[in-house]
Amino acid sequence: MKKNFLIALLLNLASMGQLHAQLFGGQLKSSTSPYPGGTVHCDPQSRTAVVTITTLTGRIWMDRNLGAQQVATNRQDPLSYGDLYQWGRGADGHQCRNSSTQTIQSTSDQPGHGNFITRSTGSSTSDWRNPHNGTLWQGVNGVNNPCPLGFRIPTEAEFNLEKGLWNQNDPFAGFNSVLKIPFMGFRETDGVILLPSQLPQFQAFWTSTISNNQSKAFQIRYDGFNGDAYVEVHARAHGYSVRCIKN
């Protein structure tokens, strides 16, 4: 009887371990989530696994976009797109591609809801927060850092360092690099999502680097013959992808 009880107990524990592995990206290390407290996962059953890669620069990155279920298998792999964050916001649910919208700006760093805060298109200084706060997302302990423990939002310089080692003659250097960057679309300041099929030549990630009341996004544009990667200032109300780097 005792033997049968022990076998049943072990099988039950193994089953719980498998469930934990599924929920936490296959990493059977502890029952504690590697993500910040209060993180809203857009697909709780397929949380982004914390798997790292080391690029030619020697830096350690997550191998997929934040919110993605897997590394991109092709340039338009839906499971690799991930979430779309407004600059400086935490993972409160607004980053989910099906999140609701509202027009009322937040007066604090944590809006207290998961709505995507919209602003009119065409305004270069549109921000989800009023007044602006350029101290968000700064470093591994930065306010609202959505990355897992020990990771943070990369800087402009870190993205540029990666770009400098890509094959400049490769029209799809971002995807063909070890970062496997897909075409993931983005969200306009008015809340409209542009899908990769609508804008197949454009990729964008937020950096933690700021410029006055705006922030800088790392962009890659393709014209069919070559890729042009650069950093450009964008309004913080945009929804762009996030790829975390290890501190």
Q: Does position 96 have pLDDT exceeding 70, yes or no? A: yes
Q: What are 175-206's pLDDT values in tens digits?
A: 999 999 998 999 999 999 998 877 666 788 99
Q: What are 155-175's pLDDT values in tens digits?
A: 999 999 999 998 877 878 889
Mean pLDDT on 130-144: 96
Alpha-carbon gap, residue 230 to 192, rounded angstroms: 24
Question: Taking a C-beta distance cutoff of 8 angstroms, is the pair 35, 91 a contact?
Answer: yes
Q: What are 25-47's pLDDT values in tens digits?
A: 333 334 589 999 999 999 999 99
- Copy the structure tokens of residue 50: 């914390």
Q: Does position 3 have pLDDT exceeding 80, yes or no? A: no
For residue 199, what pLDDT is reported?
67
- Copy the structure tokens of residue 83: 């979430």
CA dihedral sign, ordered 173, 178, 180, 186: negative
How many beta carbons lie within 10 A of that of residue 64, not counting itself?
27
- Reported confidence tier of residue 98, pLDDT bands at 50, 70, 90: very high
For residue 219, what pLDDT is reported?
84
Higher pLDDT, 101 or 124: 101
Higher pLDDT, 137 or 17: 137
Q: What are 224-243's pLDDT values in tens digits?
A: 555 678 888 999 999 999 99
Alpha-carbon gap, residue 129 to 19, rounded angstroms: 38
Mean pLDDT on 98-115: 97
For residue 230, what pLDDT is reported?
84
Question: Taking a C-beta distance cutoff of 8 angstroms, is the pair 153, 242 a contact?
Answer: yes
